[in-house]
Structure 1
Amino acid sequence: MYKSGNCTECTTCGSCQQTPNVDTPILFCMHCQPSEAPCLLACSENAIEVLGGAITINGEKCTKCGDCVEVCPINVIKI
């Protein structure tokens, strides 16, 4: 259940007002194992990182090329 005070802006529940074309790409995903994550392997800028077991996008490194979006098996990456 969505509670606005608990929102982490992960965009997975669909209840927040996050827009698909944000300035900083957002991702906090635990679907794939980091060693097998297609997005992590596809990123030529090494902008996709593992943080506490979750796969995240480092907005400072990301060039918004979209390679990670194309390979995401569950379509959660928005750029």
Structure 2
Amino acid sequence: MLNSGNCTDCTTCGSCQQTLNVDTPNLFCMNCQPSEAPCIKACRQNAIEVLGGAITINGEKCNRCGDCVEVCPINVIKI
């Protein structure tokens, strides 16, 4: 159960009711190794990048096609 006192409004855990900013793709993930991450492999725009060991979406490159959403093994990508 989510402790709302610990919430950072990241919207990636799926436990809260925060409204996503539809203009900015949301991802900060460390579940997959970058070399094996299906989202990176699926992105035809090369918009999914590794930043400090975490997988993130470059909002300037992302065309919001949703290919990464479909392959994410833990369903954390929000477009």
Misfit runs of 4+, over 6 Å: none
Quote the Cα distance in structure 1 between the aligned partners of 2:4 and 2:58: 26
Kept after mapping to 1: 8 A contact 2:69/2:77 = yes
Is 1:70–2:70 an aligned residue pair?
A: yes
Q: Secondary structure at the match of 1:35?
A: coil
Quote the Cα distance in structure 1 between the aligned partners of 2:18 and 2:9: 12
Q: Secondary structure at the match of 2:39?
A: helix
Unaligned runs of 5+ in 2: none
Task: Return closer, same or farther for 1:23/1:60 CA change in 2, 3 Å cut-off.
Answer: same
| Matching of residues 12-31 of structure 1 within 5 Å | 12=13, 14-15=15-16, 17-19=18-20, 22-31=22-31
Quote the Cα distance in structure 1 between the aligned partners of 2:26 and 2:9: 11
Unaligned runs of 5+ in 1: none
Q: Secondary structure at the match of 1:50?
A: strand
TM-score of the aligned structures, taking structure 1 as reference length? 0.83
Kept after mapping to 1: 8 A contact 2:49/2:58 = yes
TM-score of the aligned structures, taking structure 2 as reference length? 0.83
Number of paired residues?
77
Query: Structure 1 vs Structure 2: percent identity of aligned residues?
Result: 69
